[in-house]
Chain A
């Protein structure tokens, strides 16, 4: 790790071509500081993993990045535009944490869920047209779920639901795909398919941001790694993070005890 990487404010000159750029973000929930002076830029083609222990501010960072929350200090730019003025929402796909994403008995078919990603694209007061339906079938095909498009979303397994939500995020052909803890509650086999799908999307040029506490797997898959625990501890190549001991620092920083191995089936916690 070089000095410039330890001091994130010096390292990341924001380029106009950046897909997303967070500049000196501080975020307070009441008296509690959740994020402190986080500067991070995401470049076209990056497959960025953001890791950190539970409660490290990862999800808050995402909501700031997506414009869902306004930071206490600092600025966010998406595709060169200030987030408050950003209107090209179709360029961003978002896959929420599966567990919190929906009511399990919701009476919606897989097709209806996926096409709902095109609402804004189709326009207010308009019905979905052939282009929307074609894009929906296309996205379902990409994630391998075209055969279950008429099933109820609640009838699918966790891994299948996850892929449906990815399809919903892909249905506007986004340049940036943001995923929040996507593998929680998804079995190992489905996780392998899931990462294969992300690799394929990355190869096609989609910029990916993946938030997880599942360090081992994430470090293996991504091309860039950001280690977050209130502050940004590291931003660079994953191999370097492992060699430099940044991960040890990350988890030791405020003695967070990592006790969520039951999700990982014991395969990912060796760096924690």
Chain B
């Protein structure tokens, strides 16, 4: 067994990473094509507020982040569909609002800076056994929801009006997609960190969109690009002592750049 796989924390990080690396780009493809790329960023900052709240209150931060993030997702979706505000303005409000709450809470409880740092930037040593079970369990939920609603999600993403005409429950599925995104954000946060979570959703997705010849192929290609980035990023982070999230995202960007060259070659 290679040295990297001999440590329990590394096994957990890799397992969690593979789950996140599968879910994040799938959500990302739907978000990118609906011009909602920023929603993951907004939700991750809302989640950060939840983490800070959990650390201040001394409650399992992961759970608080989950609650806060799902509520944030519902709030975003309500405001976005109410038509009173532009969609991207809503996202900007939640992004900066979440960050502001987090910063205030951090200034209240000064003692948890080290812990917070791992949430901001991700850490492979941070995945506890309990975290791993949560990541795998929630990941499976998100994946099965996507598989079950695959054709509805495609129809809504491609042409929302026609989907509505067919009698597909568009509003409910949109809300569910936003909630699933918030779940994906919270699980990804442990490994990539708050600030880079949306990158793992968006970058492999845009890489795949440029190359794939069908929607199904786009999803598969996005997952492949993301898993490649997660594994190489983690291995690099382990051997060269780098920030995991940053290393993963840099590998994803390398693949994205390669997609430009590949496309030009065609």
Contacts and interface: CB of A to CB of B under 8 A. Distances in A.
A189 interface: no
A87 B158 contact: no
A270 interface: no
Given A89-B167, A103-B33, A119 B159 contact: no
Given A101-B159, A103-B33, A105-B209, A112 B165 contact: no
Contacts of A66: 165
Interface stretch (A4-12, A25-33, A121-129): A121-129
Contacts of B33: 103, 106-107
B215 A109 contact: yes
Contact of B154 (A103, A112, A125): A112
A68 B161 contact: yes
A109 B213 contact: yes
Nearest to B169: A124
Contact of B163 (A107, A119, A124): A119
A117 B215 CA distance: 15
A137 interface: no
Interface string B126-159: 0000000000000000000000111110110011
Contact of B215 (A89, A108, A168): A108
A87 B159 contact: no
A113 interface: yes
A42 interface: no
Contacts of A81: none
A107 B165 contact: no
A269 B83 CA distance: 38
B164 A68 contact: yes
A152 B161 contact: no
B266 to A, nearest CB: 12
Contacts of A75: none
Interface residues of B, number: 27
B151 A122 contact: yes
Nearest to A66: B165
A128 B166 contact: no
A80 B255 CA distance: 56
A124 B151 CA distance: 9
B145 to A, nearest CB: 10
B162 A94 contact: yes
Interface string A54-90: 0000000000001110000000000000000001011
Interface size class of A (residues with CB under 8 A): 20 to 34
Nearest to A152: B213
A119 B214 contact: no
B158 A125 contact: no
A92 interface: yes
A96 interface: yes
Contacts of B154: 108, 112, 116, 119
B25 to A, nearest CB: 13
Given A101-B159, A102-B159, A116 B151 contact: yes
Contacts of A115: 151
A112 B159 contact: no
B159 A109 contact: no
Interface-central residue, B33, B158, B218, by most chain A CB under 10 Å = B158
B207 to A, nearest CB: 11
Contacts of A15: none
Contacts of A119: 151-152, 154-155, 163, 166, 168
Interface-central residue, A107, A120, A122, by most chain B CB under 10 Å = A107
A152 B107 CA distance: 52
A124 B148 CA distance: 8
B93 interface: no
Nearest to B34: A103
A125 B148 contact: yes
Interface in B171-227: 208-209, 212-218
Interface in A110-149: 111-113, 115-117, 119-120, 122, 124-125, 127-128
A150 B165 contact: no
Nearest to A93: B165
Given A109-B214, A112-B154, A119-B154, 4 more contacts: A68-B161, A68-B164, A107-B218, A116-B163
Lowest 6 CB-CB distances: which A-B pairs, in order? A109-B214, A89-B167, A120-B166, A116-B155, A107-B218, A108-B215
26 contacts: A66-B165, A67-B165, A68-B164, A90-B166, A94-B162, A96-B161, A102-B158, A102-B159, A103-B33, A106-B33, A108-B215, A109-B213, A109-B215, A112-B215, A112-B216, A116-B155, A117-B162, A117-B166, A119-B152, A119-B155, A119-B163, A119-B166, A150-B213, A150-B214, A152-B214, A168-B162
